[in-house]
Amino acid sequence: MHPAKLLLSFCQWALNSPFGRGVRDSTWLFPAIEICHLLALGLLGGTVLILNLRLLGLRFQDDPVAELAADVWPWMLGSLTTMLASGFFLFSSEAVKMYGNAAFRAKMASLALAILFTFTIHRKTVFAEEARIPPARRRLAALISLALWAAVGLSGRAIGYV
């Protein structure tokens, strides 16, 4: 099956699933889930900002990067998990509409790249012994991370306008 048809089939399944119907048919469920989604996004953004400000050498310089990362990593994982779960419920309530939305597609692409980068290169950078990672490489990792997560938030905000 062609990938576009497969994706459309998934969107139709999500829309007609108990999740999609339940959120769509409830007066308060969509706004309640959206509040959780936005709170998780804010918390995730805060943890990303804290780590990257440290990698850039702009804040928290008294704390070793790996120590700071160990402190915020559980918050990052929890907020990302909450954001992904709540995002699926929001998506399922209008999945076919999102299928054709360019901003939604940009958000999903940015999200995939941000997650991939965060759990590979960025994670190695923040948990490595600081002396092993050159300052320029740490700064580059921070800038890429900030750009990717900003793209997720900005494209997500654009969904309602596209």
Whether this prediction's pTM lies above 0.75 is answered by: yes
- Specify the number of domains making up the chain: 1
Q: Indicate whether 135 pLDDT > 80.
A: yes
Q: Indicate whether 1 pLDDT > 80.
A: no
Residue 37's contacts (CB-CB under 8 Å, 6 or more residues apart) are 82, 83, 86, 87, 90
- Percentage of residues of the chain with pLDDT beyond 70: 100
Contact 127, 19 (CB under 8 A): no
Contact 60, 49 (CB under 8 A): no
Cα distances from 83 to residues 75, 87, 92, 104, in angstroms, run 12, 6, 14, 15
Residue 21's contacts (CB-CB under 8 Å, 6 or more residues apart) are none
CA dihedral 104, 124, 38, 99 (to 10 degrees): 10
Name the residue range of residue 46's domain: 3-161
Neighbours of 58 (CB within 10 A): 11
pLDDT at 63: 81
Q: Indicate whether 129 pLDDT > 80.
A: no
- Residue with the two structure tokens 């704390």: 63
Categorize the per-residue pLDDT at 61 as very low, low, confident or very high, splitting at 50, 70 and 90: confident
For 98-121, write each residue's pLDDT tens digit: 998 999 999 999 999 999 999 999
